[in-house]
A and B are shown apart, each in its own frame.
Chain A
Amino acid sequence: MIVEAHAPNARDVKTAMSAFRQSVEAMIPALRRYARALTRDADAADDLVQDTLVRALRSERLFLGGDVRSWLYTILTNLNKNRRRSLARRPQFTQLTENNPDASGTEAEGRDIEKALATLVEEQRSVLLLVMLEGMSYREVADIQGVPIGTVMSRLARARAHVKASLEGERTALRRVK
């Protein structure tokens, strides 16, 4: 006995799909940047982007117009929440080359900002990066996180204060004993 289940109108939606697909594809570099800053781990970041893309392609039919960009960032942000929840149950990988004393000024600054990001709680880090790195409006970030704009603004203010304090701590650590 043979049972075949066909997708109802696979051919009809093909043209619409390719436009959808193009807009997804155009977002991959920015998604990678956001994921890298969010996780500060190249492999975990690309895993996250990969899962986001798989999820997006699978839900192609569920996407009824609107802003593909916000939608992708929403998927990625939610997947990252799940990832962090399951992190405790998995082996942890850390980079072997943590400190390079000969790092140039730019590299050292990059390390400082990475460390500063690490001090933030997840929601704050996400708001900070969406606004400052990805250039999203408060409204878009509120939609992505599913919270009111007021919450976005207070998270942003706290995130900026934390990062500022962390960066200042790095800079003065050698000169000053607290």
Chain B
Amino acid sequence: MNDHNIPVTEDELHAYVDGELPAERRADVEAWLAAHPEEAERVQSWRTMAEMLHARYDSVAQEPVPARLELERLERRPRQWLYGAAAAVLVAFVAGGTAGWVAHGAANAPSAFQSFTADALDAHRLYVVEVRHPVEVGGNERDHLQAWLTRRCGWTVFAPNLEASGLKLVGGRLLPGPNGPASFLMYEGASGERYTIYSAKTENGATQMRYARTDKDGALFWAERGVGYVVSGGGSDRERLTKVAQAVYDQAEKNGG
């Protein structure tokens, strides 16, 4: 609007159509529009525009909310739990008992260990519930499984024997990891409880064992010779998880990791 004689401003037209115009001014604008059909048509086109937007996008708000946006599900995500340090109960466990490790204000920058463990717990959670296809290669093909994962991952992948801990090898699969491929092995106990071993290359050359837990799962992380390991499972039974992880660690050591 460049004409100084026009009493109704561009802003007022928008405010009018958006219901933001003071009530006492509405009649003036309407009278003015009646005298300026071209402007009235422009205002009408904004209303049509709003109708088109609603016609196109309101259906999205009518769709059932996808499962991945359910709040309960989002709260259970280990990633979120790991990052939201203050809200969570975090237990740090250090094998050997030398130095303590405390998750301090991890809300902003998750450490490599935290995101590594979160990835492993994501994989654990995703596959332990699988009934028909928990693994790509079954435990009855242990040699083939080890050879295949070793070839693809680039370090010696060894599926430890955990029968002493009451666990049988279900099998394994290859996963994308933080620094290349990751190996994922699954074990199952007498009552159907499942443990998984996730391993991938890591920047941490070697670290002590660390314990992390979510409301449903526990996980033990350590790194040895540039390969990080996360043993997950056992619910709140940390003792058994520790034993399982210890067995994995010992056998990996013997076999040169």
Q: Which A residues fall within an 8 A CB radius of B?
A: 1-7, 10, 21, 24-25, 28-30, 32-33, 36-37, 45-46, 49-50, 53-54, 57-58, 60-61, 106, 109-110, 112-114, 129, 131-133, 137-138, 153, 156-157, 160, 163-164, 167
Contacts and interface: CB of A to CB of B under 8 A. Distances in A.
B89 A113 contact: no
Given A61-B86, A110-B56, A157-B10, A32 B61 contact: yes
Contacts of B84: 58
Given A58-B80, A112-B52, 7 more contacts: A1-B98, A5-B103, A32-B63, A53-B69, A131-B18, A138-B20, A157-B14
A33 B20 CA distance: 23
B100 A50 contact: no
B87 A7 contact: yes
A46 B80 contact: no
Given A46-B69, A57-B75, A58-B83, A5 B89 contact: yes
19 contacts: A2-B91, A2-B92, A3-B102, A5-B103, A6-B89, A7-B89, A28-B65, A28-B69, A32-B63, A33-B61, A57-B75, A58-B87, A133-B53, A137-B20, A157-B11, A157-B14, A164-B45, A164-B49, A167-B52
B71 interface: yes
Contact of B53 (A10, A132, A156, A157): A132
A24 B69 CA distance: 11
Nearest to A7: B87
A157 B88 CA distance: 47
Contacts of B42: 164
A122 B17 CA distance: 22
Given A28-B65, A164-B49, A110 B55 contact: yes
Q: Interface residue tally of chain B, by bracket?
A: 35 or more
Interface of B: 10-11, 14-15, 18, 20, 42, 45-46, 49-50, 52-58, 60-63, 65-66, 68-69, 71, 74-75, 77, 80, 83-94, 97-103, 107
B181 to A, nearest CB: 19
Q: Which 6 pairs of residues, A with B, have the shortest CB-CB distance?
A: A29-B61, A110-B56, A33-B61, A33-B60, A113-B52, A132-B50
A109 B57 CA distance: 12
Given A21-B71, A50-B69, A133 B55 contact: no
Contacts of A113: 49, 52-53, 56
B65 A29 contact: yes
A109 B94 contact: no
Contacts of A153: 11, 14-15
A37 B57 contact: yes
A6 B88 CA distance: 7
Contacts of A53: 69, 71, 74
A58 B107 contact: yes
A5 B57 CA distance: 45
A37 B55 CA distance: 12
A4 B97 CA distance: 15
A55 B54 CA distance: 28
A24 B71 CA distance: 9
A30 B63 CA distance: 11
Contacts of A60: 87
Nearest to B49: A163
Nearest to A42: B60
B91 A4 contact: yes
A109 B100 contact: no
Contacts of B100: 1, 3
Contacts of B20: 137-138
A104 B88 CA distance: 52
Contacts of B52: 109-110, 112-113, 167
B211 to A, nearest CB: 9
A112 B87 CA distance: 46
B53 A57 contact: no
